[in-house]
Amino acid sequence: MVRLEGREGGAPSFRSGTGRLFLWSAVSREWVSCPPDEITWLDRRTLSGNEDLTLHRAPRCAGLRHVHHRWELFSRDTTHRIYLAPDAGPAPAAGAGDVQRAACHVLPAAPARYEALPVTLQEGSWLVSVGNWVVRLRLDGPARDRPAAADDEEGLVTQAAETTRRDGTHRPDAAARVRGYFERNATARLAMAYYYQEFILGLPAPQTVPMMSVVIALDLSGEGAVSDYKKLLQGLIWNERGHARDLAGFLLANGLLTAADLDEARRVAADNERNGVCETARRRLRYRPKG
């Protein structure tokens, strides 16, 4: 059972255009506001009332924060993966296993002193699983029932411009397009997971795996296979070229590459190495017939 401590004080004030995040307290049996000017830690006390000693204390745990006009779920937890799944609504309380199976985003265990890549929360109801514990969240949309003052209007324009700069001109259905492509092409999904594995693991100053290493590990068709996948994915996501550096962030932020994908890619690579497939690929790639 989820046990959460309630917060003291009134609800924080928000500018128009900023969503309000709430966390369900099983203790007070009500939704409590997450203050936008401080981090709400999903720590040992919040999750288990200090009973589960396998959970970490702040600041070595997952948390919720408000930055750049958006709410983020982030993690500094070096032990547990953090799972985020949509809340299906009134139903028997979901257990940690249910949340993990339904997760659309998975934050990997973070390296010491670093964070995993955060996930931007979208409007709606969510479930977060940490270890054996589950937290319910609700992100409401911006208030629209009061007249907007001139400075509020300016703030909305500024926010919209910032969102455009941050997200670029990606297609509205970009995530769905990539998800559908990965469902049809498991090889592309595993290749990108293997290529971006340091990003998925949240390592400091992550680097991509050399493309030739990906080709050999997963026995891809040729040297340009990874580059071709990258170009195709960029075409599915953006309306113009020049987003190679943004690709990893988009795939991870939208749950299109997860730790589960990396685990699968590494298992395939290990099987290929053990069965001699990688050695055959190395010989094939060393032999380049003259044209």
Q: Which helix (H) or strand (E) holds 216?
A: helix 211-218
Q: What is the C-alpha separation between 266 and 213, in angstroms, rounded?
A: 12
Q: What is the C-alpha separation between 197 and 265, in angstroms, rounded?
A: 9
- Each residue's pLDDT tens digit, 129-163: 999 999 999 998 765 443 433 333 333 333 333 33
Average confidence (pLDDT) over 266-286 = 90
β-bridge pairing 82-86 and 116-120? unpaired
> Would the pLDDT of 4 be above 80?
no
> Would the pLDDT of 219 be above 50?
yes
Residue 255 maps to a domain: yes
Quickly state the pLDDT bin for 12 (edges 50, 70, 90): very low
Q: Based on the domain organization, do 108 and 63 belong to the same domain?
A: yes
Residue 3 maps to a domain: no
Identify the CA nearest to 127 among candidates 28, 24, 43.
24
Q: Based on the domain organization, do 187 and 91 belong to the same domain?
A: no
Q: Among 25-29, 213-217, 243-247, 266-270, which stretch is predicted with the lowest mean pLDDT? A: 25-29
**What's the CATH code of the domain at 99?**
2.60.200.20
Q: What is the C-alpha separation between 64 and 41, in angstroms, rounded?
A: 6
Long-range contacts: 226-234, Cβ < 8 Å, 24+?
Answer: 226/191, 226/192, 226/195, 229/188, 229/191, 229/192, 230/192, 232/181, 232/188, 233/178, 233/181, 233/188, 233/192
Q: What is the pLDDT of residue 89?
A: 66
Q: What are phi and psi of 114, to 5 degrees?
A: -130, 165
> Would the pLDDT of 273 be above 70?
yes
Q: Based on the domain organization, do 189 and 241 belong to the same domain?
A: yes
Q: What is the C-alpha separation between 199 and 112, in angstroms, rounded?
A: 15
Q: Based on the domain organization, do 98 and 208 belong to the same domain?
A: no
Q: Which segment, 23-32, 89-98, 186-195, is predicted with the most confidence on average?
A: 186-195
Q: Based on the domain organization, do 190 and 239 belong to the same domain?
A: yes
CB neighbour list of residue 94: distance below 8 Å, 6 or more residues apart? 85, 87, 88, 102, 127, 134
Q: Based on the domain organization, do 119 and 189 belong to the same domain?
A: no
Q: Is the Cβ–Cβ distance between 198 and 266 less than 8 Å?
A: no
Q: What is the pLDDT of residue 82?
A: 92
Q: What is the pLDDT of residue 16?
A: 30
Q: Based on the domain organization, do 95 and 203 belong to the same domain?
A: no
Average pLDDT, the chain: 79
3-state secondary structure of 78: coil
Q: What is the pLDDT of residue 129?
A: 93
Residue 48 maps to a domain: yes
Q: What is the pLDDT of residue 109?
A: 85
Q: Based on the domain organization, do 44 and 98 belong to the same domain?
A: yes
Quickly state the pLDDT bin for 117 (edges 50, 70, 90): confident
Q: Based on the domain organization, do 127 and 237 belong to the same domain?
A: no
β-bridge pairing 124-130 and 105-107? unpaired
Residue 147 maps to a domain: no
What is the percentage of the chain residues whose pLDDT exceeds 90?
37
Q: What is the C-alpha separation between 139 and 120, in angstroms, rounded?
A: 11
Q: What is the pLDDT of residue 55?
A: 93
Q: What is the C-alpha separation between 58 and 63, in angstroms, rounded?
A: 9
Total number of domains in the chain: 2
Q: What is the pLDDT of residue 279?
A: 92
Q: What is the pLDDT of residue 18?
A: 60
Residue 50: which domain range? 20-140
Residue 152 maps to a domain: no
Q: What is the C-alpha separation between 191 and 202, in angstroms, rounded?
A: 18
Q: What is the C-alpha separation between 20 and 32, in angstroms, rounded?
A: 10
Residue 41 maps to a domain: yes
Residue 258 maps to a domain: yes
> Would the pLDDT of 49 be above 50?
yes
> Would the pLDDT of 112 be above 70?
no
Residue 44 maps to a domain: yes
Q: What is the C-alpha separation between 36 and 53, in angstroms, rounded?
A: 28
